[in-house]
Structure 1
Amino acid sequence: MIVRPSEIAAFREAILDAKAVKIEFDVLWELWNRAAPRFTGDPGQAAALKDALVELSDSLVIELPKQAWDKSTVPALPRHILVPASRRAGNERTWMTFPWCRRLGWVSSLSTLQPGLFDDLVALNEWFGRVEPATLPIVPVRYRSAEIFAREKRLDQLERTKLFGPDRLSLEMLGCRRLAPPAPAAAVGPGPDALIVENSDTYWVAVEELRKSSGHDIGAVVWGSGRTFPVQVPSLAVDVAGQGPVRGVAWYWGDYDPVGTATAVAAAGSAADVEVRSAAGLWKAMVGLAVQEAGTFDWTNAAGQEWLGRDLWDHLSYVRSAGGRIAQELVPVDAVSAWAAGPAA
């Protein structure tokens, strides 16, 4: 016998009326018997139930399990089903009826809420009840996160959700601010400028060379830590090697490969209070050096031409054509002090 649309509709209503997220097979079988009593005792009863379940699954009313199936029957039947609408209804009742404080009143109007966020909101609600945000001292984000949630990185995660935004949560409301990661640096002289290098060995070479030299404008060498440097740039306007903010130019030099040039461009673009410029003389020192790892780098749409300058970009075209790179470590050690002693750029 073919299952009638009216029987599937009745089965659907019975499942939703159960208001359970998970319905075990015994209960499911009983609901099916009530919805389609004409199948009771019929040899095709199990097959009809399977057809009805598949149709309800296709229409997203229920979720069938991936592995929990009873294969002792013909056809195999699920040991349980899940009802997404019941899951949502339970969550909605929870956050829509909770007594939120004034600053979190907007939560009750949310149509959906990701699992786990309710507990975070309750923690925030309790914190707002204990403090007066207008008089709070401003602290770094992870200090406030540890105070509220006992998890120092939780605010980092929540800031990427819909809980943050206009007329919702903000770091300002929570009395905290995000600080740029510090950039490792060493003082090498009294000058106003800084030299930023991408790699750690080059950092130590530059520190040693510039400390031995005099008459240059480099006051500190900064390790750019590879591709992470763009997020560290704001720290240059706070303090570098205990000398305070960079007073002059932050000169950048990295590997000549797609990541190295992209990092340089991103760093320059993220600088607001510090001028990040190309240490052109050090990049020029790469011209003519042997190509490394040819055929392994894709330079298509690579960034850096305008930032490095078209002439230098053209001089290094043989590296791009070979699909290779040139690392900082190929440049002679004394090139750093020679660059620092020469004209700026």
Structure 2
Amino acid sequence: MSCFEAALGLRAEGRARVPLDEIWSAYHCAEPVKSAASGKRDSLRTALDALEQRGVLRMPRSPKLWDRSAKPALPHWVHLTAGAAHERAPESTVAWAPELEFARSISHPIQQATLAAVQRFLAAGGRDRPMVPMRERSLEVFGDEKKLDRLIHSSLFQEGRLDLGLLRCFAVSPPLVWEEYSTPSTTALFIENHHTFHSFKRWNEDRLAYRVIAYGAGKAVAKAIGSFTDAAGRLGIERIEYFGDLDQEGITIGAKLAEVAERTGLPPVMPAERWYALLLDRATAVQDIADPGSSVSADSMRWFSPELRARIALLVESGRRLPQELVGWEALSVQPH
């Protein structure tokens, strides 16, 4: 087994699919010199091709699932085949803590090593430790501050196995930036990008159409929105609108945010249809911009109203994208309340 293959298995945490950022992390760990050289994309692609030829992993077939921002192209993810990057662990003779009795049924050696680290934490008095932010505990227990970010989505965190309470830690939402306005409105508007956020703040100072204008920071908003819960109650927010780029990533962010809000008891997240419609109206203001992302899922598209969905579908099917900066200050300044 190569060092890179083993590192991929560690990043997988029992999952079959490993995203590109984790692939890079594994490669840097296994090949620190090559991963820092000018030809690092070439060497990573060569390493991935070699593992695919050995049957260790599969790379996506669709051209849309590849990063083509530079050459050679790299996959957005790889799928580890059954049995890849690990062998069956020897029969366990560890006297597991009562909370870890399920570890006897775990055959994956990487998962066993993870559980052994938890065992050491508990044996050292971990049950009596104060509750701390998740990444602080992750660094202490595993030597990797982001390991728990990956673990909580793995089979080790299924019901009846590990949980954050056992590790005496809790998840922390990233900070969210927003501006509050004195207005009867009960709607908050979340903006994907910070330049557009600035223009909408400026516009709302006079129009007072929204109680809150918030900066979502792209994909980070799905994790950050939890920090808005208390403010939403304090400000009487009854509805959240989201406005982002019209491309694969931007649409997916909005749809996912709606799901997160529903799960966490926040007010419903709706598409800011007024601004999406204006964005589509302004499509002719720029030359066509290709969307390198994969196709938009039907579930994400259902987030929009039927009328808007039909217009956006035409854009998506043409392989184009519309950045929300098209609805900038000059376009906003002529918009009424």
TM category, shorter: 0.5 to 0.7
**Equivalent residue of 1:169, what SS?**
coil
Match of residue 128 from structure 1: 122
Aligned counterpart for 1:333 among listed residues 304, 329, 333: 329
Shift of 1:129: 2.6
| Residue 254 (structure 1) aligns with | 244
- Name which structure has the greater RCO, CA cutoff 8 Å, separation 6+: 2
Contact 1:294 1:323 in 2 (8 A): no
Q: Distance in 2 between matches of 1:267 and 1:220?
A: 17
Equivalent in the alignment of 1:224: 216
Pairwise CA distance, 1:155: 2.3
Pair 1:293–1:244, CA change in 2 (3 A): farther
CA spacing shift, 1:163–1:324, aligned 2, 3 Å: closer
Instruction: Give the letter aligned to residue 324 of structure 1.
Output: R
Map residues 1-345 of structure 1 onto 2, 5 A cutoff: 91-92=89-90, 96-107=92-103, 109-110=104-105, 112-115=107-110, 117-131=111-125, 133=127, 137-189=130-182, 192-211=186-205, 213-214=206-207, 216-239=208-231, 247-272=237-262, 273-291=266-284, 292=286, 294=288, 296-297=290-291, 305-315=301-311, 319-320=315-316, 322-333=318-329, 336=332, 342=337
Cα distance, 1:239 vs. partner?
4.4
Contact 2:252–2:296 (CA under 8 A) maintained in structure 1: no
Report the CA distance between 1:333 and its aligned residue: 1.8
Greater Rg over alpha carbons, structure: 1
Percent identity reads: 23
Instruction: Note the alpha carbon deviations across 1:14-59, whole angstroms, 9 max, x for none.
Output: xxxxxxxxxxxxxxxxxxxxxxxxxxxxxxxxxxxxxxxxxxxxxx
1:92, 1:111 within 8 Å by CA — same for their partners in 2?
A: no
| 2-structure distance, mates of 1:337, 1:192 | 22
**Matched residue of 2:222: which SS?**
helix
Judge conservation of contact 1:209–1:334 (CA < 8 Å) in 2: no
Cα separation, partners in 2 of 1:318 and 1:104, compared to 1, 3 Å: closer
Deviation at 1:132, TM superposition (A): 6.6
- Distance, in Å, in 2 between the alignment partners of 1:270 and 1:200 is 22
List per-residue Cα deviations over 1:133-168 (Å, max 9, x = no partner). Answer: 3x6544322232234334322323333444332332
Count, aligned residues: 247
